[in-house]
Each structure stands twice: as structure tokens, then as C-alpha cells.
Amino acid sequence: MDRKYIDDHHVVARYLADQLPDDERAAFETYYLAHPEIVRELEATARFKVGLGQLRESGELTTLLQHKPWFRQERYQALAASVALVAIALFLFIGRAPSLQPVLVASATALTDRLGDPLAVAASYDVIRMRSASSDPDTYIELPASAQVIPLRVEPQFEARPARYRIRLLSVGNHDSLYDVGTIAGLTPDPSDGYISVYLNSARLVHGRYALILAGDAGTSAENDESSFLIQVIDGTP
């Protein structure tokens, strides 16, 4: 007899229940005399059976079996709820990082820091068509040292009726390839000067060229008209 046979045939439990035949009992007793760990296992199992019997006789076993599992107890449910709240708060804290927010927004207050407070507003830039046939940028934007909102005021080259526009921002890559960055529709011009305002998230901008396309919004008289502007993003002054 070896340990595998003992485990596979539940010899310990059967021995304590006096269910082993004589030859198997003798073989087991010979084995456990040479292996003290089996004796300790016998003692532990015997104590468990005795304790279980005492609980049954006192009626405490029924109470224990009816006891709520640990994960259903109120104090553990409260702890689980606290952990969930911490996880949600951490998710919101990380999710509010300016680097995870949109590049192009319609309102300066749409961009916030990790605490949910609006980002500081940097210098404003007027985007006016300056180019003729050259490839020089119409506007240079300096990146601030920290995450800030960069206001852009775009001058329409045509009139849309009703006065509603959309702006699309694209990143200009190698060989003038274009990559969509963001689009905002339903923009209306400032009644005082006719400029259209949008805002950039400096934390999401990188050095390089961007194309800004202003078009009439869907359903307006200028929905097929558009003007393009070239923007160059550069390092700010130290």
C-alpha cells in the first residue's frame, strides 16, 4: 500500500469508519506506523468528526449551515461597495485626463483637468486665409507647457443660410496624407464679428501641420461649400 492508493481509495475515512477489510486494515496500519504524517492526518480527521458530532448534538450545526456566506454578509457587502466606488473614482480620475479628451471641442469648458475643473485658457488665434498659391501656413499655434484650451476664431469665406457651419480638423502627415482628428457641426458665428469659435486641447496636439476645413452645415445654402486653412503647431516660447 502506498499514498496514492490511500488517497484514491479514501482509506483514511474508511479506516475511521471501521469499513476496511482485515487485510486492507493491516496493510494500512503497517503503512502509517512508518509514516507519521498519516497519523497526524488521522488525528485531525478524528477531531473534525468529533467536533462535528458535538455541534450536531448541540444544535449549533444547523445554525452554522444557515449562516450567510461571507460574501453575503453586510460588512463584506459594504467593503465590496467601497472597493467598487474606489475603482469607479479611479476610472473617472484617469478618464478625465486631458490627454484622453477630444482634440477639437465647441466649448472651452468641455475640456477639464483630472479633478473635473476647466482647463486654463491659452492665447487665442485668428484663423484667416493668408495663402495664395504658396504652402505657407495660415496660422502658427504655439503649444503651451501644460495642458490648456487653445481658442481658434475662424473667418468664414462664404455665407451659409441659415448661419450654421461645421469645422473639421485633420492632421497632415508625410506626403500630405490626411488623418481625421475631429469634426464639430452646428456652429454659429459670433454676431459681433462673424467669426466662428472652436477650441483645441493642447494635450492632444503634436508638432506638425493640421488642415482646418470650414464648410456650411447640412441643410444650409452652403452645405457644398468649404474653405481650407493650414495650421502649423510649434513649440511655445520657453
Instruction: Please give the full DSSP string across 174-216, using - where no structure is assigned.
Output: GGG-EEEEEEEEEE---TTT--EEEEEEGGG--SEEEEEEEEE
Q: Check whether residue 151 and residue 229 sit in a common domain.
A: yes
Question: Is it the case that residue 124 has pLDDT exceeding 90?
Answer: yes
pLDDT in tens, 159-194: 999 999 999 999 998 888 899 999 999 999 999 999
Q: Check whether residue 56 and residue 163 sit in a common domain.
A: no
Q: Is residue 79 part of a domain?
A: no
Number of domains in the chain: 2
pLDDT band with cut points at 50, 70 and 90 for residue 91: very low
The span from the first CA to the last CA of the chain, in angstroms, equals: 83
Q: Check whether residue 216 and residue 110 sit in a common domain.
A: yes
Domain range for 26 is: 3-66
Dihedrals phi, psi of 62, to nearest 5 degrees: -60, -40
Cα Rg, the chain, nearest whole Å: 38
DSSP 8-state code for residue 10: T
pLDDT in tens, 100-117: 788 999 999 999 887 788
Q: Around Cβ 36, how many Cβ atoms within 10 Å?
A: 9
Higher pLDDT, 41 or 127: 127
Across 42-55, b (16+ Cβ under 10 Å) vs e yields eeeeeeeeeeeeee
pLDDT band with cut points at 50, 70 and 90 for residue 92: very low
Q: How much is the pTM? A: 0.59
pLDDT in tens, 21-75: 877 877 877 776 666 666 666 666 656 555 555 556 666 555 555 555 544 555 5
Q: Check whether residue 137 and residue 184 sit in a common domain.
A: yes
Mean pLDDT, residues 224-233 taken together: 94
Mean pLDDT, residues 198-216 taken together: 94
Read off the C-alpha cell for 166. Answer: 461645421
Torsion angle (degrees, nearest 10) of CA 12, 15, 21, 24: 40
Predicted local distance difference test score (pLDDT) of residue 31: 73
Predicted local distance difference test score (pLDDT) of residue 237: 62
Q: Check whether residue 123 and residue 184 sit in a common domain.
A: yes
Domain termination residue (choose one: 16, 49, 66): 66
Question: Is it the case that residue 149 has pLDDT exceeding 60?
Answer: yes
Q: Is residue 26 part of a domain?
A: yes
The mean pLDDT of the chain is 79
